[in-house]
Structures are given as structure tokens and as C-alpha cells.
Amino acid sequence: MYFDLGETLVHTADDGGTSYRPGAAAYLRALRERHIKVGLITNVPSAWGATDAERAARLRKEVDATWQGPAPFAWEDFGDRVRTPRTEAERKPAPALWQRAKAGSGNCRVVYQAETAEEVTVAASLGFVPYQVGLAHRPPFLPVRLVELLGRPSPA
């Protein structure tokens, strides 16, 4: 499962402070308890590094510097599954980041959760199970039980 970061999992307040969006920490904990792998597909400046790992390290430094939550952001849950633009042309909504994420996911169904309709539409067009967070008539995140069902092999 992949997420956008800003305004999906974390919120940046008017004062520049960063913290979890409501329910995000508990949701990540529930996914972790069920051994569901998570990743990030997020726009950062391509100049932040030559590799996803370098750009992810800079992203972590930037978020951690403004973090105001009672518990730190769960960076360890994401491992090496942080996809960032190699060039400015790869920035979302260009399909490159989703294509790279999907290529690294084998034959698994891949979910993408974000706050913008445009991003979930692009993800859906590339074969992701999309979920737009932050809509009043829906749960804040795709229910964990449904994620577990999506992860099961299809009956033969």
C-alpha cells in the first residue's frame, strides 16, 4: 500500500509545524500489526538527492525538523518504499512514481491513498486500488479489513 504524505498522513499547520493527520498513526499501527507493507509516493525537489534513498533521507530530515506530534513519524514502516521524483518532469501527477512503485510490488494488488481526486484517478488508471482520504462520507482511510481482503490471492 502506498500513500501520499502531505495532507494524507501528515498535516502542516499554519505555523509550519507538522503532525499526524487524525487517525493516521493508529491506521499505520494497524497495518504494521497485520504485516501490510506500506510506502510513500510523494513529491519532493529532485535536487534533494540522486536516489530515492537520498531524497527520502532529506524528506525525513525536513519533516522531523518541524514535527510537533507526541510520537515521531513512523519512518521505519516505509523502509525503502519511498518513491520521489528523479526529475521535475516525474512530479505527480505524472505517472512515473506510480509506475516505479508498481514495478517494485511484484504481482501484488497495490493500493494508493491520497487526499486529491487527481492523484487517485491517475493511480487507478495505472492499476492501483485508489482511495481518496478526507471525504466526509467515507472512513478516513481504506478499512484495514478490506486491505487484508485485497491482499488475498484470487480463487482459481
What domains sit in the chain, N to C, each tagged with a CATH number? 2-150 (3.40.50.1000)
Q: Is the pTM of this model over 0.85?
A: yes
pLDDT class of 69 with cuts at 50, 70, 90: confident
Handedness of CA 27, 76, 99, 104 (dihedral sign): negative
pLDDT of residue 154: 55
pLDDT class of 130 with cuts at 50, 70, 90: very high
- Give the DSSP per-residue string, 90-133: GSTTSTHHHHHHHHTTTTS--EEEES-HHHHHHHHHTT-EEEE-
pLDDT class of 123 with cuts at 50, 70, 90: very high
